[in-house]
């Protein structure tokens, strides 16, 4: 059934993935004469609840630190046993147990309305304390894994260095073999898994945890497509030393993930140059994750569409998408650009690239990003464009999609995909897009994934910036790894100088 199993690692990743799951839930249709364009069996798993009713829950394994889940309960009402009806507990202890419970966090009004079956009002920023505050879906109890070794936002034991995350994975895996314990049950339910989707932070300790986890997944599934969405927190207002640490974490995470994953797409909000049509509070994880989720969900939409489901071209699976971008077999890093609203979709007709560059790899000072576009190396080896256009509005330029024939050696692989399924603006989604939608509850989106020559310069800049802050033991491997990653995006016409590399 072309199943995709999702792995969520870290607090910001869970913010982004929650928007993703809310969007998937909105695609369900309940009338007999309606058929969804999305094949729900790809991301959702059927099951049986405690009361014998059928359930449909995300194929996901969700990790977060102590306190990161907020008021979300591990056992939801679908799997909650009736009082006094727990046979497993009775078999362990025939006496009357003494239960000591910590006072649970209170739900916000939005969640209480959802539980009561009442249409909730649109969320406000003050309502969102945790990612679970705006979640519209239930999770299987086995999906939620809380790591008690560290506490969210702790100042005593901060979870912020790459090495800390890698060490935590090794210690947990040595005790419990967490990949077998947490991951394998979801994979064994699949008939024909098309790939793994990973949401992970790159710039904190979750980058180290994710790198070790992905390495284990690659050992378990050597030929499976592993697609990584690497999210990064905004750095505006962050102290310079902490920025350097985040930059080093990002470099280490990219170096490790790109060696194991099929494709890695870094996602970050630019410090500057955000279009005026987007009202974004960079201090709000709810806002930041909404923007990143719009891009990731739209770019990967074709991997879960039904064949012939209103699209102008044949949908691609995760493996096909990765092959389009990874032309040489070594190009496992891709840039992401996005445009939102009617104007962005109109620009796609003329072949213009989306205006918002979300491929932000590192930053050291306000407004100064590494690897800016416009550096003279815009040649794309592979590009995947996806346009969510209102039904009835056709664009002939988007129909020129490459065929399944073998491409000419040296030529770029360009695939365009168009669908009438717009991005849903739910009551759980912040009002960050300033467009007159005439009462519509969805919005057009244009995304572009590309493996192009700008990555060469991004990797050179990254090496230059992080080399002084990396220990001597790791510096050589990291610098060489980033150099090899950048070299994969040089073509036979490149003649740029590598001056300065020997000084690293």
Q: What is the 3-state secondary structure (H, E, C) of 59-101?
A: CEEEEEEECCCCCCCCCCHHHCCCCCCCHHHHHHCCCCCCCCC
Q: For position 368, what pLDDT does the model report?
A: 45
Q: What is the pLDDT of residues 101-159, one digit of tens each?
A: 667 788 999 999 999 999 998 898 889 999 999 999 999 999 999 999 999 999 999 99
Q: For position 71, what pLDDT does the model report?
A: 93
- Top-confidence residue, 333 or 392: 333
Share of the chain above pLDDT 90, in %: 63
CA distance 412 to 216: 33
- Top-confidence residue, 45 or 406: 45
- Look at strands 225-231 and 193-201 and give their pairing: parallel
Tokens of 461: 């800049």
Average pLDDT over residues 79-103: 58
Q: For position 397, what pLDDT does the model report?
A: 43
Fill in the DSSP letter of residue 131: G
- Top-confidence residue, 33 or 43: 43
Q: For position 402, what pLDDT does the model report?
A: 41
Q: How far is CA 382 from CA 190, 331, 378, in A?
A: 30, 10, 11
Q: For position 353, what pLDDT does the model report?
A: 85
Q: For position 449, what pLDDT does the model report?
A: 96
Q: For position 502, what pLDDT does the model report?
A: 46
Q: For position 375, what pLDDT does the model report?
A: 43
Say if residue 92's pLDDT is above 80.
Answer: no
Q: Which of 90-94, 102-106, 461-465 has the highest mean pLDDT?
A: 461-465
Say if residue 292's pLDDT is above 70.
Answer: yes
Find out whether 417 and 313 touch, Cβ atoms under 8 Å: yes
CA distance 211 to 228: 10
Q: What is the pLDDT of residues 34-79, one digit of tens each?
A: 888 999 999 999 887 766 777 899 999 999 999 999 999 888 776 7
- For 3-30+37-77+106-333, the fitting CATH number among 3.40.50.720, 3.40.50.1440, 3.40.50.2300, 3.90.400.10 is 3.40.50.1440
Q: What is the pLDDT of residues 351-378, one digit of tens each?
A: 778 889 999 885 544 444 454 444 445 6
Average per-residue pLDDT in the chain? 85
Lowest mean pLDDT segment, chosen from 15-19, 73-77, 174-178, 477-481: 73-77
Among the listed residues 278, 268, 294, 274, the one whose alpha carbon sits nearest the alpha carbon of residue 422:
294
Q: What is the 3-state secondary structure (H, E, C) of 440-466?
A: CCEECEEEEEEEECHHHHHHHHHHHHH
Q: For position 16, what pLDDT does the model report?
A: 98
Tokens of 477: 């491997």
Q: What is the pLDDT of residues 187-231, one digit of tens each?
A: 999 999 999 999 999 999 999 999 999 999 999 999 999 999 999
Q: What is the pLDDT of residues 312-343, one digit of tens each?
A: 567 789 999 999 999 989 999 999 999 998 88
């Amino acid at each position: 059934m072309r199943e995709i199993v999702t792995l969520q690692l870290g607090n910001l990743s869970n913010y982004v993935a929650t928007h993703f799951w809310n969007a998937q839930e909105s695609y369900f249709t309940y009338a007999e004469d309606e058929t969804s364009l999305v094949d729900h069996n790809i991301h959702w798993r059927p099951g049986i609840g405690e009361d014998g009713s059928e359930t449909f829950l995300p194929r996901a394994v969700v990790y977060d630190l102590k306190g990161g889940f907020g008021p979300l309960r591990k056992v939801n009402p679908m799997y909650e046993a009736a009082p006094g009806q727990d046979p497993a507990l009775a078999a362990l202890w025939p006496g009357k147990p003494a239960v000591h419970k910590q006072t649970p966090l209170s739900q916000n009004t939005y969640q209480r309305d959802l539980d009561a079956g009442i249409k909730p009002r649109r969320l406000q920023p003050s309502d969102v304390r945790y990612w679970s505050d705006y979640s519209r879906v239930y999770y299987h109890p086995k999906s939620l894994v809380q790591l008690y070794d560290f506490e969210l936002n702790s100042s005593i034991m901060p979870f912020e260095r790459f090495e800390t995350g890698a060490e935590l994975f090794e210690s947990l895996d040595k005790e419990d073999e967490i990949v077998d314990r947490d991951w394998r049950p979801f994979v064994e339910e699949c008939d024909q898994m098309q790939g793994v989707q990973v949401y992970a932070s790159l710039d904190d300790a979750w980058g180290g945890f994710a790198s070790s986890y992905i390495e284990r997944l690659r050992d378990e599934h050597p030929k499976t497509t592993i697609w990584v969405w690497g999210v990064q927190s905004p750095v505006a207002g962050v102290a310079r030393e902490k920025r350097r640490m985040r930059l080093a974490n990002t470099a280490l995470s990219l170096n490790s993930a790109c060696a194991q994953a099929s494709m890695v797409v870094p996602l970050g909000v630019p410090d500057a140059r955000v279009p005026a049509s987007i009202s974004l509070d960079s201090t709000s994880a709810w806002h930041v994750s909404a923007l990143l989720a719009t891009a990731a969900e739209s770019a990967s939409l074709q991997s879960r569409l039904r064949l012939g489901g209103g699209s102008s071209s044949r949908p691609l699976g995760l493996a096909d998408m990765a092959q389009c971008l990874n032309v040489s077999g070594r190009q496992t890093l891709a840039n992401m650009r996005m445009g939102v609203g009617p104007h962005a979709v109109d620009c796609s007709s003329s072949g213009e690239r989306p205006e918002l560059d979300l491929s932000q790899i590192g930053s050291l000072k306000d407004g100064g990003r590494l690897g800016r576009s416009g550096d003279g190396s815009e040649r794309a080896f592979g590009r995947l464009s996806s346009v969510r256009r209102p039904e009835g509005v056709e664009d002939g330029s988007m129909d020129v999609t490459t065929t399944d024939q073998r491409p000419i050696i040296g030529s770029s692989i360009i695939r365009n995909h168009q669908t009438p399924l717009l991005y849903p603006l739910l009551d759980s989604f912040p009002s960050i897009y300033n467009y007159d939608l005439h009462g519509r509850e969805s919005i057009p989106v244009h995304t572009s994934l590309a493996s192009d020559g700008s990555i060469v310069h991004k990797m050179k800049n990254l090496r230059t910036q992080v080399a002084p802050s990396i220990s001597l033991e790791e510096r050589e491997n990291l610098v060489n790894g980033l150099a090899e990653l950048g070299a994969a995006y040089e073509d036979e016409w490149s003649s740029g100088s590598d001056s300065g590399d020997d000084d690293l």
